[in-house]
Amino acid sequence: MDADSFGFLDAGARRELRRACFKAVCIPGYQVPYASREMPIARGFGTGGLQITLSLLTPEDTLKVIDQGADDSVNAVNLRRFLLATCPGVSATTRTGEATVIQTRHRVPETALRSGQIMVYQVPYPDPLQIVEPSESRRRRMHAEGDYARLWVRLYEDLVRFREVAISNRYPARVHGRYVIDPSPIPRWDLPKLHRSAALHLFGAGREKKVYAVPPWTVVEPLAFSDVPFQVEAFRRADGGRHACTRCGADDSYLDEIPLPGGGRRWQCNDQDHCDGRLAARSPAGAAP
Amino acid sequence: MIDHAGEPQPILDAAGLTRIHGRGCPDCLALTGDGPGTNICPRCRSVVALAGVSFRLWPGEILGVMGESGSGKSSLARLLHLDDRATAGQAWWRGEDDDGSALRLDLAATDGWRARWLRDRRLGMVHQNPHLGLNFAVSAGGNIAERLLCAGEGSFAAVRRRALGLLARTEVPRGRVDHKPGQFSGGMQQRVQIARALAPQPSLLLLDEVTTGLDCSVQARILDLILEIQRETGVAMVVVTHDLGVVRLLAGRTLVMRHGRVVESGLTDQILEDPQHPYTQQLVSAAL
Amino acid sequence: MGYVAIRGGEAAITEAARLLDVLRSAAGGEPLGVDAIRDQLGLLVDRVCGEGGCWEPRLAALAVKQSRGDPLEAAFLLRAWRSTRPRLGATAPHRGSELRLVRRISAAFKEVPGGQVLGPGSDYLQRLFRYDLLDESPEAFRSAARDWFAGAAPAEVPATLPKVLDALRAEGLLTPPRPPLEAYDVTREPLVFPVPRPAALAAMARGETGGLLAMAYSTMRGYGYLHPTVAELRYGFLPLRWPHPATGQEVEAGEVPVTECEIVAMHGQGDAEGEPPRFSLGYGCCLGHQEVKAIAMAMCDRSLQNGAERGAQHPAEDAEFVLMHIDGIESMGFCSHYKLPHYVTFQSDLDNLRKSRSKLAGGTDAASAALAEVGDGR
C-alpha cells in the first residue's frame, strides 16, 4: 500500500464503489454488480461492507464497527483496526449516536438512527431468491419480472408445516413496493427498524460482488400474508411473559441467551452500547458491572 | 366478449404464426410443408415448427388442435402460453386489464413483464408431463397457492380455502392438499395440474395432451371433468392432442396440423365425418 | 461466562497471531529460506502464483512460509497484495507457439513435427520413496544439477516449435481460429452471466486446482461427454512483449512460465450450411508448471462451450456452476467465516423453533385456524 493512499483502495476502485452505491440508492433494493476487490481480510468476513466503508469514509467521519451487537468482538476489532489504519484522521466510537458511519454484521443498533448516519451491512447472500433458485441468471430474470411467487410459496409451505415462517433471520422484505431484498442476517427484530428509517442503509456483498441500498425514509415491508402478520422474536418465558436483560433490565431489546454452568440460563442485551447506555443513565457513576 | 359496436370479438385472433428453429433462409417456407413432406429445410437445416398458422378462438369455445408428433401442435401451445416466441405472425389476445378496462395484446410481441402478467393472471396451461406443470418439491396446495399468490391473493386463509375448493372441484380428496405431487397417481397429478391452471380464473386454458398415457377409464373421467369445468366457468380452451377421441368429445371446431401447417379446419363433426385432406382421411380411417 | 469468551478484542488477535509464529519455530531447527522454498518447492510456488493470479515467485515463496505451507492461505496473501498493485495495461495477444519450450508432448500423434519433448515430468515415476533424500548431504544435493549440466549436449532442439494442431488446422479438420476476443479482466469486471469465453478462461486460470479438477473429472466420468484427446501440452517460458515507452515498438520485457494445453474433443457439425463436421477444441493455460490444472481447464472450457451451445445438461457445462465455485480464495474464505460467532442469528433460530413448537402444540393464531379445516395439515 502506498503511504499516501487514503482508504486502502485505489482511487478508481473507490470511485467505482461510490458509483455503485449511488446507483443502488437510485433503484432501492436492486442489486448492483461491481468488481469486488480482494481485501487482506478473507471473503465472508465482511469484505463487501469493508469496501463500501472504505469508499465512503473521509477524515471527518466517526466510525462504529459492530459484530453480533458488540464493538469488541474479535471480528469487529479486526475490521476497525484495519479501517483506522488505512483511513488516518477517522475517529472511532462505540456510541451509536456519535457515529456517522456504522459498519455492522448481523445487527441494527437498538438506539434509533438519525438523518445523516450511514449503516453499512456485511452481506453473505445478497439475493433473497437464493433460497428458492440457485441459478443467478434465472434469479436476475425473476427480479426483473417482479416474480416472487416461489418465495411466497415458501411462506405458505412453512405455515402449513410449522405454523410459522421458518425464516428467522435474513427475512425477505420488499423495498419501495418493488424489489425484494435479503436484509443480511439481521434478526427479524431489526427488520422493522429499516422501515422509513432516517438513515441510509447500504449493503455490501464482497464475495457475491453486489451492492444494494435502502435510502432514508423508504418503505420496507417484510413479506407476509395479510392475515398472518410478521412477528419479531418473542423471548417468551414459560409463564407467557417476556425475558428481560439481567444486566440493565430492558424488556424491549434483542437478547442473548446465555446457558449457565449449573443449568438454567441468563438473558442479556445483545446491543452492548445500548445496555451500557441504560446502565449509565441509571447510575450517575456510570459504572458498568 | 362484446366490443363497442356490439359485435362479438374473438378472444384470440392468430394470423400467420410462424416459428423457425435455426438460422432460417429465404426458402425455408417454400421447401417444407405438405408438398415436400418435411418440416426440415433441406437448404439450411432449420426446423420449421409452424408456418403461417391462422385461426380464431371465440369466448367459451373449445378448439381442438390435432396432429401427430412433429406436426407443430405443441409448438403452437408453447407460443400461445408465451413460453416461446414466434418468428413471424401475430396472435391478438383480447381481455381485460387489472382495472377491468378492455385490453388487446399481441402474444407474439409482448415484453417480459406483460408476458408474466398474462401467464400469471389470464392464461392457464396443462402439460402432458406433470413435471413441466407442477413443482414436485411443493405440496399440491402449494402448487395452487403459487398461482393464487401470483395473481395477487394476499390472505393465507383465502389461499388455503381456494386451494381446497379447486382440489375439490377437480376431484382430489381435500385431505391430500398437503401431499407432494410425487405421492399422487398420474391421473391425480393431472387433476392437480388442472386445479393449478384454473386457480387465477384464466380466460384461456391451454391443454397439451393432458390425457395421453393415462388409463382409459381415468382418461374418460378427466375429459368429462374438463367439459364440466368449461360449462361452469365458460373458459375458452385450446386442446392439443393426437387423439381423435379427445377432439370428438371436447372440441366444437378443430384444426388438423401437419409439418407445421394447418391442413384442414372446421367443425369437428364435419372433419371426422367427411375429411377433405388426404392426411385427415388417413387419420380418420386409421382410427376406425 | 460465555458472553465474554468470544470477546477477545485486540489482545486476543495479537496473541493468536503470535501463537502461529510460535508453532512455526517451537520445534527448533533452521528457519526455511524463502529462496529455498522458491527453488525446491517450485510446484507449490507455481500453484500459489497461479491461484494468486500473478507471477511473483519470491513473494509466493514468502506466502508459503508465512502460511506454514497452506496453499489456499498463501494464494490469498498473494492476491490481497496483487489487488493493491496498479494495473499498468494489457499486452497484445501472445501465441502459445512463442513459448520457449521446456516440455511438450502430444497424445494425439506418435510423432509430431519437432518431436515429443518429454522434459521434466513425474508421469512415469514409480512412486517409491527415495530414502536417500531423508538425509541429503549438501554435496549430493548440489551434484545433481552440476553433473547433469556437465553431461548435457548443446541444445539440439530449437527454442520454439510449431503447434501440433497446425497441420490439422491446415487440413480444415479443426474449427478455424476465431478473431481474438477482447481480454476480460475478472478483477475489474464482475461476472454477470452469460459471460464471454475470455471471462471464463480468466476465471479458470486463477481457479483452485482441486476445484477445477473435480469439475473436469465429472466430465470424464460421464457427467458430460467430451471424448478428449490431449493434442498438445506444453510448458515453457513465454516471452512478454510490451510497447517500448519511447518508440512504441514492441520489445521483450521479460518472460513468464506457463503451461498450455489444447484438447481435441469429439467432432461436431460445421457452423454453416453444407460444412463438413470438424473437431472442436478446448483450451487451458495457466501460470507456472501446472499440468493437471491446464488439462482440467481445457476440458472445462470445452464442456462450457457445449453448455453455451445447447444448454447445460451436466454440472460442468453450466458456466455459473463452474465459474462461481472454483475460486479457492472465495470458497475458502466463506467456509472459514462459519467459524465467526453467529449467536444473534442462532438466537433468532431458537426463538423461531420454540414459537413453531408451541403453535403446533395448540395454537390459536391465524395460520392454525386456517389449517384446522383439513385437520392436522401435515
Average pLDDT, chain B: 92
Residue A229 domain-assigned (yes or no): no
Statement to judge: residues A218 and A261 lie in one domain: no
Statement to judge: residues A93 and A186 lie in one domain: yes
Statement to judge: residues A162 and A257 lie in one domain: no
* CA max distance for chain A: 61
Confidence of residue C61 (pLDDT cuts 50, 70, 90): very high
CA dist A72 → A63, A94, C3, C162 (Å): 14, 9, 12, 62
Whole-angstrom distance, CA of residue C378 vs CA of residue C376: 6
Q: Which of A7, A29, A48, A49 is catalytic?
A: A29
Of C79, C69, C72, C64, nearest in space to C34 by CA: C64
Half-sphere exposure of B182 (CA within 13 A, CB side): 4
- The whole-angstrom distance between C377's CA and the closest CA on chain B is 6
Dihedral sign from CA coordinates of A211, A216, A219, A223: positive
- Structure confidence by residue, pLDDT tens digits, C335-362: 999 999 999 999 999 999 998 998 888 8
Confidence of residue C154 (pLDDT cuts 50, 70, 90): low
Statement to judge: residues A204 and A269 lie in one domain: no
Q: Is B14 left (phi over 0), alpha (psi -120 to 50) or beta?
A: beta
Statement to judge: residues A139 and A241 lie in one domain: no
Query: Per the structure block, which three cell numbers stand in for B172?
Result: 382430489
Half-sphere exposure of C127 (CA within 13 A, CB side): 2
Residue A227 domain-assigned (yes or no): no
Query: Per the structure block, which three cell numbers stand in for B196?
Result: 393449478
Confidence of residue A2 (pLDDT cuts 50, 70, 90): very low
Q: Which of A7, A21, A69, A245 is catalytic?
A: A245
Residue C271 pLDDT: 54
Strand partners, B123: B204
Look up the ipTM and state it. Answer: 0.89
Residue C114 pLDDT: 84
Query: Would the pLDDT of C376 be above 50?
Result: no
Whole-angstrom distance, CA of residue B160 vs CA of residue B18: 41
Taking only residues 252 to 281 of chain C, the set having a beta carbon closer than 8 angstroms to any beta carbon of chain B reads 273
Full residue range of the structural domain in which residue A246 is found: 234-289
Statement to judge: residues A98 and A125 lie in one domain: yes
Q: Is A146 a catalytic residue?
A: no
Of all residues in chain C, what percent carry a pLDDT higher than 90?
A: 56
Of B137, B129, B250, nearest in space to B186 by CA: B129
Query: Per the structure block, which three cell numbers stand in for C364?
Result: 390459536
Residues B262/B15, Cβ–Cβ less than 8 Å: no
Taking only residues 101 to 160 of chain A, the set having a beta carbon closer than 8 angstroms to any beta carbon of chain C reads 105-107, 124, 135-137, 159-160
Strand partners, B258: B261
Statement to judge: residues A277 and A162 lie in one domain: no
Structurally, how many domains does chain A consist of?
A: 2
Strands of B147-272 (E only): list them: 204-208, 236-241, 253-258, 261-267
More confident site: C266 or B131? B131
Strand A62-67 versus strand A91-92 pairing type: parallel
For the ranges A247-261, B18-32, B150-164, the lowest mean pLDDT is seen at B18-32
CB of C361 within 8 Å of a chain B CB? The answer is no
Average pLDDT, chain C: 88
Of all residues in chain C, what percent carry a pLDDT higher than 70?
A: 93
Residue A45 domain-assigned (yes or no): yes
Residue A95 domain-assigned (yes or no): yes
Statement to judge: residues A167 and A255 lie in one domain: no
Whole-angstrom distance, CA of residue A145 vs CA of residue A179: 10
On chain C, the residues whose CB falls within 8 A of the CB of A124 are 334, 337
- Structure confidence by residue, pLDDT tens digits, C17-49: 899 989 988 888 899 999 999 999 999 999 999
DSSP 3-state assignment of A243?
A: coil
Q: Which of A167, A200, A222 is the last residue of a domain?
A: A222
Query: Per the structure block, which three cell numbers stand in for B284?
Result: 380418420
The radius of gyration of chain C from alpha carbons, rounded to an integer in Å, stands at 27
Residue A70 domain-assigned (yes or no): yes
Helices (H) and strands (E) in chain C, counts: 15, 4
Residues C313/C304, Cβ–Cβ less than 8 Å: no
- Structure confidence by residue, pLDDT tens digits, A228-276: 999 999 999 888 899 999 999 999 999 999 999 988 899 999 999 999 9
Confidence of residue C111 (pLDDT cuts 50, 70, 90): confident
Contacts of B276 (CB under 8 A, 6+ apart): B264
Half-sphere exposure of A101 (CA within 13 A, CB side): 27
Statement to judge: residues A124 and A187 lie in one domain: yes
For B184, phi and psi rounded to 5 degrees? -100, 155
Question: What value does the mean pLDDT take over residues B245-266?
Answer: 94
Statement to judge: residues A270 and A208 lie in one domain: no
Contact state of C13 with A256 under an 8 Å Cβ cutoff: no
Query: Would the pLDDT of A284 be above 70?
Result: no
Residue B257 pLDDT: 95
CATH code where residue A128 lies: 3.40.50.11310
Whole-angstrom distance, CA of residue A49 vs CA of residue A65: 10
Statement to judge: residues A132 and A174 lie in one domain: yes
Residue A267 domain-assigned (yes or no): yes
Statement to judge: residues A17 and A73 lie in one domain: yes
Residue C6 pLDDT: 41
- Structure confidence by residue, pLDDT tens digits, C202-238: 999 999 999 999 999 999 999 988 889 999 999 999 9
Interface mutation vs chain A, best among B83, B111, B116, B119, most A CBs within 10 Å: B116
